[in-house]
Amino acid sequence: MRRPLALLSLLALTNTACPGTVDPPTDQFALDPVPAGQGFQYVTRETEVPQGVEQQDCYFFKAGDIAAANGMPANEPINLHRIQISQRDGSHHMNIYRVRTIVGLDPANGEFQPASNGSGPCFNSANWADWPLLANTQQDGTIDWTYPEGVANVIQPDEWLMLQSHFVNASTQKTPQNYGRVWVNFWAIPKEQVKHELGTIFATKQSIRVCTKNPTPVFDGTCNLNNKNPVQIIGANGHFHSRGKQFRIYAWDGMSLERPPEDQRFYTSDVWDDPPMTRSPELDRTLPAGSGIWYTCNYEWTPPPIGCAALDAFDKEKYSTPDRLLDCCYTFGPQVDQNEHCNAFIYYYPKQDDVNCF
């Protein structure tokens, strides 16, 4: 059966509020649409985020369909050269991935696949383990990033994308308007202007635990680029939750066992809830051939807002941790009040491959 893909995609552009809810507020965060023929805009639904709720929604769309609907050449790649992202306050993160192996998240299950409070496939990172990163932000408000001249992130017209939007209205983070929404403008350049393709690196530390008896753990990881020629790093940001104290990313030679020296550090974040997005033109770091990145997350345990009993219950249920090892631990996961991450997002060119380090 032929799926009305264009219709599904266009539905994403409509201003549809959930039935029976309060009228949405006026949008100071809304972006003007991209003019016809220059790219396209994607807008998420108005998603309600009541007090005490973490809402993480996955949206699926085919970029080519939306682009063609906005006057872009049909069946041709979209050469993304500038990205604007605007989010209501309360956004914890917004990531866009290229859909690849289908595990538990499937575009066939609908354009809009919501999830709340840690439950649902949109919360399970194993579902997008081999989905390359396209774009991300963790900052409130608007970012507007134009890549260096001739650099484009090439999206194929038949490529499915997933936009994942996480809003939090809990103890450590609030959604003051009780409704989340994201606007993304994709600005393209003609193929004749493309000199370098943009690539991405997404790296995540497995099995994070921050416990009372190991309250200041440090996690280090590496990610190789396998690049035969030098590349330029032009964007970076790191992600953890409120136990995170410092996130550092370094240029790494791909061979040493020691954390690189400080003159190789190109990204630092000391804030978890509005981490900086370091990007070009300020960031333009050369990585030699055969190198990669080294990233480090420092944590400090703090008493959980939801209480140790809740943390232990989650630890037991999710990770089958026996009673004798329960230690009021924050474990790996997506929920801000009870889980932690150590995720690095890197943008570079020329593309060797999109890289995921799990």
Partner 1 sequence: MKSVPVVLLSLCLVMSCDPDGGNPTPDAGTRQDAGTNQDSGIPDSGIPDSGTTEDAGIPDSGTTEDAGIPDSGTAPDAGTTEDAGTPPPDAGTTPDAGTTPDAGTIPNTPCGVPYLGDPNGALDFKIKALGPDWTSYPLTTGSTLTVIEPIQGGRVSFVGVYDVINIDPCGVSILGALKNPETGRLTLDSRTANLQRGPDGRGSNIDLDDASFSNVTLCPNQWSNKDIYDQEYDLIVILKDRLEKKVLQKTIKVRPACNVPGEDAYCRCICKAGYVLGSPCP
Determine which helix (DSSP H) or strand (DSSP E) holds 71, and give its type and residue range.
none
Is 284 near partner 1 (CB under 8 A)? no
Is 309 near partner 1 (CB under 8 A)? no
Site for partner 1 in 14-73 (CB under 8 A): none
CB closer to partner 1, 271 vs 325: 325
Contact of 294 with 236, CB cutoff 8 Å? no
Binding to partner 1 by CB under 8 A, coded x per residue (else -) over 186-225, reads: ------------------xxxxxx--xxxxxxxxxxxxxx
Total number of residues that touch partner 1 (CB under 8 A): 65
Is 129 near partner 1 (CB under 8 A)? yes
Per DSSP, the three-state class of 240 is coil
Candidate list 11, 283, 319, 350; residue touching partner 1; CB under 8 A: 319
168 closest CA partner among 42, 16, 356, 305: 305
Is 108 near partner 1 (CB under 8 A)? no
Contact of 115 with 121, CB cutoff 8 Å? yes
Say how far apart CA 16 and CA 42 lie, in whole Å.
14
Is 357 near partner 1 (CB under 8 A)? yes
CA dihedral for 93, 94, 100, 106, sign (positive or negative) = positive
Name the one range near partner 1 by CB under 8 A: 48-56, 58-66, 179-187, 258-266: 258-266
Name the one range near partner 1 by CB under 8 A: 61-69, 82-90, 145-153, 294-302: 294-302
Name the one range near partner 1 by CB under 8 A: 11-19, 111-119, 127-135, 164-172: 127-135
Burial 163-174 (b: 16+ CB within 10 A, else e): bbbbbbbbebbb
Angle of CA points 288, 137, 232, to nearest 5°: 15
Is 296 near partner 1 (CB under 8 A)? yes
Is 131 near partner 1 (CB under 8 A)? yes
* Token pair recorded at residue 31: 């972006």
Cα 54 → chain centroid: 16
3-state secondary structure 302-325: CCCCCCHHHHHHHHHHHHCCCHHH
Q: How far apart are the first and last CA of the chain?
A: 36
CB closer to partner 1, 23 vs 258: 258
Is 310 near partner 1 (CB under 8 A)? no
Instruction: Work out how close the CB of 204 gets to partner 1 at its nearest, in angstroms, rounded to a whole number.
Output: 7
Binding to partner 1 by CB under 8 A, coded x per residue (else -) over 326-345, reads: -x---xx-------------
Count of H-run helices and E-run strands, the chain: 3, 26
**Residues near partner 1, by CB under 8 A:** 98, 100-101, 125-132, 204-209, 212-226, 245-246, 248, 254-255, 257-263, 265, 290, 292, 296, 298, 300-301, 319-322, 325, 327, 331-332, 353-358
